[in-house]
Amino acid sequence: MRLCLLLLYLSISSAGLCGDTSTNVPKEVTVLREWLGDAGPGVDKSAPQVVIRNRDEYVKSCSEFGLEKHPLEIDFSKEFAVIATSRGSRISFRSRDEGEGRLKVMSISTRDIRPGLRVGIGVFSRQGVVFVNDTKL
């Protein structure tokens, strides 16, 4: 019986009936640069992730989080940024290419809650990206 099942599996696999699953698997995309710092004084309200598509949005977001200067130089013709906040001590970004120009960016933060608010900025390449978390670039 096991031999029959093995032969059936091998014949289906070699015939290509299982399909090529490698094209359906999302690919991880590398973050080009990351910055982590504290929000300015008086800023204590966490916000959802924000996709930053241009310099005006970047300046506005930095101001909203009380950052005195822009922590990263970003060439918005080739790059975009995602800003995330957390009360934990560390924020990191994970991203994956879901195909058809869609990029999913997630932020992960540590659970060691402490006073204040941390701001994380992740910079990614625009190459081949049309949507980031359902936001059009």
pLDDT tens for 121-132 read: 999 999 999 999
CA 5 vs CA 1, 18, 78: distances in Å: 6, 15, 52
Residue predicted with more confidence, 133 or 113: 133
Q: What is the CA radius of gyration of the chain?
A: 21
* pTM of model > 0.85: no
- The secondary structure element, H or E, covering residue 44 is none
Q: What is the pLDDT of residue 121?
A: 94
pLDDT tens for 62-85 read: 998 888 888 899 999 999 999 999
pLDDT tens for 83-114 read: 999 888 888 999 999 999 999 999 888 888 87
